[in-house]
Amino acid sequence: MGWNQQQLADFAEVSLSTIERAERGEPIRVDNMERLCTCLQKTPEQLGLLETEDQGVNRRQANKTIAGLVSGLLITPSTDLSLLAGLWADDLLVIYACGIAACQDLYFSGRPHEVEAILPLYCNQTALLARQPSPLQQSAAKLASQAQQLTCELATDREDFGVAQQAGQQAFLYAQLAGDSNLQVAALIGLANLGFHRKLSSAALRAYKHAVSLLNENVTPLLKGRTYAGIAEVHAMRGELQEAMQAMGLAYEHYPLRPEDDPAYPYLRASRYSLYVFGDAQSRLFLGQPEEADKALIAMQRETNDPQIEPITKLDMLYYQADVQIQQGELEPSSAVLTEAAALAKDLGSRLYFNKLAVSYHNLQAQWPKESLVAALEEVFQPW
C-alpha cells in the first residue's frame, strides 16, 4: 500500500508495537489480526500471521518428549547406579532434561493439566539419582531442583500451598546439593512468590533477603533483577514506600535487556514482563499509584509479547489491568477484563487467579453496588 509502519498502525487502529511484532513473525492478538486483514484486504495466511509449521512441530515434539519417558528407561531405588552411570549416564540425563524443558513449555503454553500428569514422574526419577552418590548425582540434583521449582509454581497456582511449600524447599535443597547458586536463588524466588500470594509478607521478605545474601558474581543478571523486582512488590504490599522504590531501582539496574539470553531463563522464565509488572506495576498498585502502574503496563507491552503467547502470563496481565482500571474508576473496561480473566482462569484451572480476581470484583462491587454491569458479574464469580 506504500504506507510506513505508523501509517499502517493508524489505518488499522492497532499499536505500532503490534505492527513491529507482526513483521518479526511474532504472534499477535486475534482482534488485531482481523483489523490488519480488513485494512490490507488480505487473509491471515497471505500476511503470514498464522502459526508456522515450525511452531506446530515444536509443540508436537514437546508432547513426544514427555510421552517418550513413560516408555523409556525408568530407574528404581534398587537400580545399580554405578552401572547405570557407566552405560547410560549421558542419555538418561538428556532424556530428563528434555522432558523437564518440555513440561515448562507446555505449562507456559497453557496446558498445565498435561504437565500435572507427567511432572511427578520426572521429580521421582531425578530425585532417585540425586539422593545417591554417583557420577550422576550433581547433574541430577540440578534437574531435580528444576522439576521441583515447576511443581512449586503449579501447586501455587492451584492453591495447594502445602505441596508448593514442600516442593520449593526441596528445590532449594537439591540446588544446594548441586552446588548451584543460581538454582538456589531461583528456588528462593519461588518460595517468596508463594509467601506473596498467601499474603505472608514476612515469609516472602525472608526468602528474598536469603536470595540477596547469595547474589555473588556467579549469579546471573536475570536472577538479580527478578529478586529485586520481587522485593519491591513485597515492600509495597507492606506499605514501605522508600524500601519499595529503592528495590525497584535495583531491579531496573540489574535486569538484562534480553532476559531470554540469560543462562537462568530456561527454568526461571522471567522476561521483561516480570520487571515491569511485578517490580513496577504491582508495587504502584499497592502504593495507590494507578496512573504509574498503567504506564508500567504500557511499557511492558512495548517490550515483550509474552501475554499474547503464554496464557498464564495473559491471565496475570488481565488481573493487573483490571486492578488499574478499578483504581482509576473505569467501570465498563474493568468489568469486561474481569469477565475475560475469570473465564481464562477457569480454563487453566487457576484457583489462585480466580480468587484474586474475585477480590477485584468485590472491590468493584463496593464502588458501584447498584450498577447493572457489576450485578452481571455475580454469576461469573460464583464459588468454583
Instruction: Give 47-96 pLDDT, tens digit per residue.
Output: 888 654 444 445 455 555 555 554 445 555 655 555 555 445 557 788 88
Q: Which domain holds residue 355?
A: 310-384
pLDDT at 84: 53
Kindly state whether residues 39 and 108 are assigned to the same domain. Answer: no
pLDDT at 76: 57
* Beta carbons of 293 and 280 less than 8 angstroms apart: yes
pLDDT at 61: 56
Q: Is residue 204 part of a domain?
A: no
Closest CA to 186 of 219, 229, 141: 219
Kindly state whether residues 81 and 163 are assigned to the same domain. Answer: yes
Kindly state whether residues 71 and 41 are assigned to the same domain. Answer: no
Q: Is residue 244 part of a domain?
A: no
Residues 6 or more apart whose Cβ sits within 8 Å of residue 288: 327
What is the percent of the chain with per-residue pLDDT over 70, rounded to a whole number?
89
pLDDT at 33: 83
Number of domains in the chain: 3
Q: Is residue 301 part of a domain?
A: no
Which of 30-34, 209-213, 282-286, 292-296 has the least mean pLDDT?
A: 30-34
pLDDT at 305: 85
Specify the DSSP class assigned to residue 282. Answer: I
Q: Is residue 234 part of a domain?
A: no
Which of 25-34, 188-197, 215-224, 370-379 has the least mean pLDDT?
A: 25-34
Q: Compare 18 and 239 and report the one with higher pLDDT.
A: 239
Q: Is residue 238 part of a domain?
A: no
Kindly state whether residues 74 and 161 are assigned to the same domain. Answer: yes
Q: How does residue 179 score in pLDDT terms, banded at 50, 70 and 90?
A: very high
Mean of pLDDT values over 182-201: 97
| pLDDT of 214 over the 80 cut | yes
Residue reference for cell 508456522:
52
Kindly state whether residues 35 and 64 are assigned to the same domain. Answer: no
pLDDT at 79: 56
Residue reference for cell 515450525:
54
* Beta carbons of 151 and 163 less than 8 angstroms apart: yes
Kindly state whether residues 105 and 17 are assigned to the same domain. Answer: no
Kindly state whether residues 316 and 365 are assigned to the same domain. Answer: yes
pLDDT at 201: 97
Mean of pLDDT values over 8-34: 82
Kindly state whether residues 84 and 24 are assigned to the same domain. Answer: no
Residues 6 or more apart whose Cβ sits within 8 Å of residue 311: 109, 110, 344, 347, 348
Q: Is residue 240 part of a domain?
A: no
pLDDT at 160: 95
| Residue 134 Cα distances to 137, 139, 142, 145, 246, angstroms | 5, 10, 14, 17, 45
Q: Is residue 233 part of a domain?
A: no
pLDDT at 13: 86
pLDDT tens for 88-116 read 555 778 888 989 999 999 999 888 988 99
Q: Which residues of 193-204 are buried (b: 16+ CB within 10 A; e: fewer)?
A: bbbbbbebbebb
| pLDDT of 25 over the 60 cut | yes
Kindly state whether residues 70 and 172 are assigned to the same domain. Answer: yes
Q: Is residue 245 part of a domain?
A: no
Distance, CA of 71 to CA of 90 (rounded, Å):
18
Kindly state whether residues 67 and 161 are assigned to the same domain. Answer: yes
Kindly state whether residues 90 and 168 are assigned to the same domain. Answer: yes
Q: Compare 88 and 247 and report the one with higher pLDDT.
A: 247
* Beta carbons of 147 and 104 less than 8 angstroms apart: no
Q: Among 112, 146, 179, which residue terminates a domain?
A: 179
pLDDT at 94: 84
Distance, CA of 115 to CA of 151 (rounded, Å):
9
pLDDT at 203: 97
Closest CA to 295 of 281, 274, 275, 278: 281
Closest CA to 236 of 292, 153, 186: 292
C-alpha cell at 122: 520426572
| DSSP class per residue in 127-159 | HHHHTS-STTHHHHHHHHHHHHHHHHHHHHHTT
What value does the mean pLDDT of the chain take? 88
pLDDT at 299: 93
Q: Among 179, 209, 229, which residue terminates a domain?
A: 179
| pLDDT of 8 over the 50 cut | yes
Distance, CA of 204 to CA of 36 (rounded, Å):
44
pLDDT at 383: 80
pLDDT tens for 107-152 read 998 889 889 988 998 999 999 989 988 888 999 999 999 999 999 9
